[in-house]
Structure 1
Amino acid sequence: MRTKLYLAVLLAAATILAIAAVASAQGSLTPQEELGENLFFDVNLSLNNNQSCATCHSPSVGWTGPDSAINAAGAVYEGSIPGAFGDRKPPSAAYAGDSPILDFDGEMWVGGMFWDGRATGWTLGDPLAEQAKGPFLNPKEQAIPDAATLVAKVLASDYADDFIELCPDPDILERYNCIGRAIAAYERSGEVSMFTSKYDYWLKGRARFTGQEIWGMTLFRGKAQCAACHVEPLFTDFTYDNLGVPKNPLNPATIADPTFADPGLGGFLMHSGFPEDVYGVEWGKHKVPTLRNVDLRPFNSFTKAYSHNGYFKSLEEIVHFYNTRDVPGAGWPAPEVSANVNTTEMGNLGLNHGEELAIVAFLKTLSDGFVPKK
């Protein structure tokens, strides 16, 4: 169980981040953030000049996957190379800047980036900057062959002068790291992590929740146990869990290999050389995502996918799963990974249909772009 001390420290850190983001939102981007923005949206920073970070992390949908049809199916996005796919849905690129360096706190693993934590922060001291570097050289994503080619592409861009000024060391590795840090700075900025949801304005006393939204928040914090992992105000605790999510049969990895089962954090720890008594208990666990912007979409019929493999296609569906996964006769398929499933904080919560809908109503208050009444 999450300790009260850890949650208090996390809440304090998150509050500092929120203040910083709001301050940034009130002014223009810093030069580093502006460079990060240019890098983030540049489709030329891919092997075939056809994919940017924003291709899979669009602001219109909360900095995650922007294609409704893809989300409704496998939820995994094609890379720069036609036919190249990863095996997970894109997580949100927003509200991740406070994730600490991956570490075992004596009770659980906390921090890092990516669903499996492999952007640890162990190299740069910043998991978000390490994560930002990864997709450029991933053959299933932007597929650039090496850091030197990436740097050359940036030097050929129309923002090359800014890049040289902010990343003056000509060493390729240093400039590669500088690219990661600039993107991380942009993702931390108030343009990405905005804190402009109805929930944020409610905290400031500038918005009123409906009765259903208040009921949902009360359930979220109490009976439904959502807040055990989705800690306010960032709505994550940066830990890892196996929720018992079923296999997504339309995931390209599953289509290629029906026996595929995503090992998550456990797989990363195994490949990093940790012993079996360390990685075995983490097998099948994935990082707890933020719930901010969880319902942000360009139009009502737009499909968003939820969980690491995109199995769920609506908030109503995933909330019902949390509530009834372990209820006899509920009809849910078997977990993708049956080991280490969280059975203490979900699975048979005893919520009725109205309570489920109230939680969904509260989750919908977390979308940025709310305009309070004057």
Structure 2
Amino acid sequence: MQSSARLTRLIQKGIEVIKKGPARLDFKVWTGFALTSAGILLAAQVVRSNSEVVLTPLEQLGKKLFFDNISQPAKSQSCSTCHLPDAGWTGGVAGVNLHGAVFRGADRHTFGNRKPPSSAYATFSPLFQLANPATGRFVGGTFWDGRATGELLGNPAADQALAPFLNPVEQNNPTREAVCEQVARSQYVALFEQVWGAGSLDCSTGGIEGTYARIGLSIAAYEGSREVSPFSSKFDAYFTACLEAGNAFAACGRPAEGDRSVLDPRGILTDKEFHGLTKFGQHCSACHVSHIPGPNGEPPLFTSFGFANIGTPRNPENPFYDMDTEFLDDGTPINPLGEDFVDLGLGAFLRTRPEWAALAEANDGKFKFPTVRNVDQRPGVGFPKAYMHNGALRTLEEVVHFYNTRDIPSENWPPPEVPQNVTRGNFGGVPLGNLQLDKEDEDAIVAFLKTLSDGFVNDRNKGGTQ
């Protein structure tokens, strides 16, 4: 049996290997990080170096694992099934996004209860923690409820990568050994041992714990690579030029009215997009942070990694409500409550942890702030996407209008799924749910959100298109 001390050293070695790739995996809470001159240079370098992505052997291995159909039934589902690159590393099936928004498992009769979050930029999330005991504020982790805490492998994204393999409503493998054996039959065995050493792909009882950890760390390395998290959007081109012009980081990410010629001297953003950035900075950046650097000086990550209940309504088409008639191997229904199921989010996870259970009720209905990077990335014009943790909203226009008018009775929004704890804070001088934005402001925010899709190529001589 591999000793826990040896496994700890192995995992730490893996984390250090990942850290030697693109400077991304800094697991501290980064809010309030002071941007140094070196950080400014890194922010610029990230954007410029994306044109030719060369993966390290560890990242190459992670990519192989990410796209391999490691599932039961065999060869029926991979990580990429629910995290399609062309759809912003989230759900890439049009019909699913139009309706239930929740994807089938490898067992085609089964569904989970939430839409897939994006796997891009996931490696930046800090360890799950109670950040402020006085207010009960939690940050970090991955999954919508933060339950992939990073406690196992030192990286929430690595912890998360391992969970779908064994989830009966996802890849449905019965054991870690079954996952390992499929990897051992793959065409990338030599690459696995090149990265982790001879004998590292050990599926025996004594070796499986370490092997399974290596699989998770490898996938996280790929998710942290510049192929998945490249900072190559139109916003990043603007942001780099803004810094190079001598402007402060915060001013570039949350501009004040009237600063266009100073902050965007090359005209990379259109007037409408810049207006949207200004309004976004005023009303949205408290949660989707646009003015604070990443942990190593990267451009803004557009999330504070916190949690809130923003009053999202139920998605009546969520197929999880029908999972009271589908059963697990032990004979219990996947969703015993059927239509009566209520997704309590963070609160439900906290109830599973004795040290945090007392705070669970106060966190019912809260879900993690996702990054809005790639929020409009799609494989083609007109391809539908779904938004919020349950896919209840279907367009960016609807999302922005919801935040703007949620609490205006005449708008007739459905009631929140979890009515307690709904966030009603003050954002930019006005309350969330009644932001008092006009149609022009809403449209401008949507236009700005579309600048966050990776893969932008800018002609600096021509600038932006007005």
- State the TM-score, normalizing by the size of structure 2: 0.75
**Structure 1, residues 185-228: CA drift from partner, whole Å, max 9, x if none?**
00000000011110000112266111111111110111xx2000
Which whole-Å CA distance do the structure 2 matches of 1:22 and 1:122 have between them? 31
Structure number with greater Rg is 2
Of 160, 167, 176, 1:138 maps to 167
1:14–1:178 distance in 2 versus 1, CA, 3 Å: farther
Which whole-Å CA distance do the structure 2 matches of 1:235 and 1:121 have between them? 21
Q: Is 1:88 matched with 2:114?
A: yes
1:310–1:187 distance in 2 versus 1, CA, 3 Å: same
Of 370, 373, 381, 1:289 maps to 370
The aligned counterpart of 1:125 is 154
**Structure 1, residues 293-325: CA drift from partner, whole Å, max 9, x if none?**
000112221110000000010000010000000
The aligned counterpart of 1:50 is 76
Q: Is 1:147 matched with 2:176?
A: yes
| Greater Cα shift, 338-347 or 166-175 | 166-175
The aligned counterpart of 2:7 is none
SS at match of 2:340: coil
Equivalent AA in structure 1 for residue 165 of structure 2:
F
Q: Is 1:7 matched with 2:20?
A: no
1:14–1:126 distance in 2 versus 1, CA, 3 Å: farther
CA contact (8 A) 1:196 1:368 kept: yes
Cα deviation for residue 277 of structure 1 reads 3.2
1:67–1:16 distance in 2 versus 1, CA, 3 Å: farther
CA contact (8 A) 2:70 2:165 kept: no
Q: Is 1:195 matched with 2:224?
A: no
The aligned counterpart of 1:228 is 286
CA contact (8 A) 1:22 1:190 kept: no
Cα deviation for residue 49 of structure 1 reads 1.2
1:22–1:143 distance in 2 versus 1, CA, 3 Å: farther
Equivalent AA in structure 2 for residue 159 of structure 1:
Y
Which whole-Å CA distance do the structure 2 matches of 1:185 and 1:17 have between them? 19
Q: Is 1:76 matched with 2:134?
A: no
| Greater Cα shift, 136-145 or 38-47 | 38-47
The aligned counterpart of 2:297 is none
**Structure 1, residues 139-159: CA drift from partner, whole Å, max 9, x if none?**
110011111111111010000
Which whole-Å CA distance do the structure 2 matches of 1:248 and 1:19 have between them? 41
SS at match of 1:349: coil
SS at match of 2:113: coil
Cα deviation for residue 6 of structure 1 reads 6.3
Cα deviation for residue 281 of structure 1 reads 0.9
Cα deviation for residue 167 of structure 1 reads 3.3
Equivalent AA in structure 1 for residue 119 of structure 2:
A
| Greater Cα shift, 192-201 or 253-262 | 253-262
Cα deviation for residue 7 of structure 1 reads 3.3
Which whole-Å CA distance do the structure 2 matches of 1:66 and 1:298 have between them? 8
1:370–1:207 distance in 2 versus 1, CA, 3 Å: farther
| Greater Cα shift, 47-56 or 61-70 | 47-56
Identity of aligned residues (%): 48
SS at match of 2:392: coil
CA contact (8 A) 1:17 1:98 kept: no
Once the two structures are superposed, the pairs formed by residues 1-374 of structure 1 within 5 Å of their partners are 7-9=31-33, 25=50, 26-106=52-132, 107=135, 108-168=137-197, 169=200, 170=202, 171-205=207-241, 208-222=268-282, 225-232=283-290, 233-256=300-323, 257-274=338-355, 276-344=357-425, 345=427, 346-374=432-460
CA contact (8 A) 2:311 2:416 kept: yes
RMSD of aligned residue pairs (Cα, Å): 2.2
Which whole-Å CA distance do the structure 2 matches of 1:244 and 1:105 have between them? 23
CA contact (8 A) 1:269 1:279 kept: yes
Cα deviation for residue 42 of structure 1 reads 0.6
Show structure 1 runs of 5+ residues with no match: none
Equivalent AA in structure 2 for residue 66 of structure 1:
G
Cα deviation for residue 50 of structure 1 reads 0.9
SS at match of 1:182: helix
1:128–1:285 distance in 2 versus 1, CA, 3 Å: same
CA contact (8 A) 2:71 2:172 kept: no
Equivalent AA in structure 2 for residue 150 of structure 1:
V
Which whole-Å CA distance do the structure 1 matches of 2:346 and 2:155 have between them? 18
SS at match of 2:63: helix
Which whole-Å CA distance do the structure 2 matches of 1:269 and 1:112 have between them? 12
Which whole-Å CA distance do the structure 2 matches of 1:319 and 1:219 have between them? 11
Show structure 2 runs of 5+ residues with no match: 1-28, 242-265, 291-299, 324-337, 461-466
1:266–1:63 distance in 2 versus 1, CA, 3 Å: same
Which whole-Å CA distance do the structure 2 matches of 1:50 and 1:124 have between them? 27
Count of matched residue pairs: 368
Cα deviation for residue 10 of structure 1 reads 8.6
Cα deviation for residue 8 of structure 1 reads 2.2
1:23–1:307 distance in 2 versus 1, CA, 3 Å: same
1:202–1:357 distance in 2 versus 1, CA, 3 Å: same
Equivalent AA in structure 1 for residue 182 of structure 2:
K
